[in-house]
Structure 1
Amino acid sequence: MSPIKCQFGYPPVLFLEQEAEVEVPVAENLIQHCNQKWIRARGILLASTQKAETKVNQERRKGPTLQPGQQVWLSTHDLPLRMESRNCLDKNHFKLSVKAKLSTDLRSNSIFQTTRTSNSRPVHCREVKKCFNYDLICENSGYEVRHYNSSTWIATNVTSFFMEFASYEGFTKLFQYIQGKNEEGKKINMAAPVLLKIPESERIMEMKNYTVHFLLPEAYQENPPTPTDPDVYFIEFPKMYVFVKSFGGSLLTWNSKFYSSRLKAELNKADQSFISDYYYGTGYNRPKTLFDQHNEVWYVAEGTPECSTLVPELTA
């Protein structure tokens, strides 16, 4: 039995004069039909590619102005470079840093200052217009040290056995607030990241108190509309240094615990001072995003942190 008969239920037509006998189109008609389908599909793909390219170009920002002879740090930490080698760490992408000597006037308080633009937009914040910007102080192969300015957030507390349930319930309440459930009925644009305060605990099956936070956009930092839900409230974050470890996938109990434990061990090994009673899980993507997600765990530093090394390690 021929493949055409298996697929279409009739034998192939070998000669044009046989078409009337079997009452089916000739192979050429089938090829023309497939070709027309491909032309339409190709047009859709090209239009989609052009739309994506236009969106990316709109989000590009102008690079810093450099002077001849100026020394800077270059890093591919924020580029998801995919490699074929099985030896690559951190899900097929690596960090590469170029060492350059800094002059004395670029150093302060023994903390290595990077050349990233002050208060810059995170490159992994791609799905919303407003993001919680930061200064990248330094980084090594294990974590980043960031500085955040003071900010106002909307928050709600949830008690649950499971972090996922608490995150969903808290997210729903805060999302209703920015969708108009406030005294002024104003709709507020979503900002990133969503912050989840997670208490430190060795036990898994126990009730815990979680706090979900939404960042208020700059226009509402001073006078945000009052929430109508009594469980929703405002919270002020002071200026702070945080230790950050990034990872992909969804923000779940097991991976947030895994990466926070790794970060905590690295900080203890580096003799860093930080608040260990809780940590933050952060998400930068919409709930419907399934691929290329970016999540982080944070520990808030106590005082001004010292970078463990002035030269980020090369990992591959």
Structure 2
Amino acid sequence: MALISIEDLAELDDEQLDDDITDNSEPMDDEEQERLYAHWQAVGSTHQVSVPQEMRGPIQEMTRRNQQQEQVPFATISQHEKLGEVAYEERVYPPGKWACITKGEELYEQSISMGFMKLMRYICKENSAGRYLGMTIPILNEIHMLEDGNGFVKDIVTAYYLPAEFQDNPPEPTDPDITIGHRDTLRVVTRVFFGTTTEETIMRQINLLWELLGNTDTLHRDVYMVAVYENPGVSCRRNEIWFIRRDS
């Protein structure tokens, strides 16, 4: 489905491209817009999705406002080190309202890409307020495991936390696939990892964190979350795997 391949951008310097498209708050000229769209197309091709023309506006809007990000509120409960580095930590996230969409494509990366593009359009004015709402991080992808524990259920929930300004009165999405819902307090054990997120890389992170934690029945094994802190245009993205604490 890709409209442009990675090879088509081989002549571009990746680091220069990333700098160009993330640090400029001024309106883009036509050449910059084309380079940015081509970059997202190339990233999309690695996820086996095509970035439609109607995403040009949201991509430009979110790129220009890249430095204006609001952190989803949380409190750190504890940190656990291994060899002098934080191996994992436990946090609690307060209740709040999230915009959510569920996608069930053939591949995990297709589901999260399609879901996030729809959320981008909601954030970038396709809402009842008719305005840019503001980006919050992380974006969450909720994964449910197959009964045998060896893979994911195809339906993936992608969730965007409403900025503080809109928590009491969230703008309604124009896209009927997006719903606004309230999530209760969430207590999680988290571990950072970097790079792309596929079913294979996420399963590796799940298994690694279980090795660090050992046997415990206080955490869910049938549902996990992947927290994403950077947009798909960033080559080495910061992510976290979240294990969810059972209600006591």
Partner of 2:38 in structure 1? none
| Structure 1: gaps (5+ residues) | 1-47, 53-125, 305-316
Residues of 1 paired with 2:153 and 2:91: CA distance? 31
Q: Confirm or deny that 1:239 pairs with 2:190.
A: no
- Shift of residue 262 of structure 1? 2.0
Q: Confirm or deny that 1:300 pairs with 2:244.
A: yes
Partner of 1:163 in structure 2? 108
Give 1 or 2: higher strand fraction: 2
1:277-316 Cα deviation digits (max 9, x unpaired): 110011101222124x311010110136xxxxxxxxxxxx
Partner of 1:253 in structure 2? 199
Q: 1:129 aligns with which of 69, 74, 98?
A: 69
- Shift of residue 266 of structure 1? 3.5
Residues of 2 paired with 1:151 and 1:267: CA distance? 28
Give the aligned residue type for 2:240.
E
The alpha-carbon distance between structure 1 residues 272 and 203, as it changes in their structure 2 partners (threshold 3 A), is closer
Q: 1:218 aligns with which of 150, 164, 178?
A: 164
Residues of 2 paired with 1:212 and 1:137: CA distance? 25
- Shift of residue 133 of structure 1? 2.5
- Which protein is bigger by CA-based radius of gyration? 1
Residues of 1 paired with 2:150 and 2:105: CA distance? 13
SS in 1 for 2:155: strand
Q: Confirm or deny that 1:194 pairs with 2:194.
A: no
- Shift of residue 222 of structure 1? 0.9
Q: Is contact 1:186-1:225 (8 Å) kept?
A: no
Q: Is contact 1:145-1:241 (8 Å) kept?
A: yes
- Shift of residue 157 of structure 1? 0.6
Residues of 2 paired with 1:179 and 1:274: CA distance? 36
> Which stretches of structure 1, 4 residues or more, deviate above 4 A after TM superposition?
none
* % identical aligned pairs: 24
Give the aligned residue type for 1:279.
Y
Q: Is contact 1:241-1:301 (8 Å) kept?
A: yes
- Shift of residue 268 of structure 1? 4.2
- The structure, 1 or 2, with the larger RCO (C-alpha pairs under 8 Å, 6+ apart) is 2
Provide TM-score, normalisation by structure 2: 0.66
The alpha-carbon distance between structure 1 residues 264 and 161, as it changes in their structure 2 partners (threshold 3 A), is farther
Q: CA RMSD in A?
A: 2.2
**How many equivalent residue pairs?**
178
1:178-225 Cα deviation digits (max 9, x unpaired): 111122312211111010011113445x86111011111100111011
- Shift of residue 170 of structure 1? 0.2
| Structure 2: gaps (5+ residues) | 1-18, 24-65
Provide TM-score, normalisation by structure 1: 0.52
- Shift of residue 257 of structure 1? 1.1
Partner of 2:98 in structure 1? 153
Q: Confirm or deny that 1:262 pairs with 2:208.
A: yes
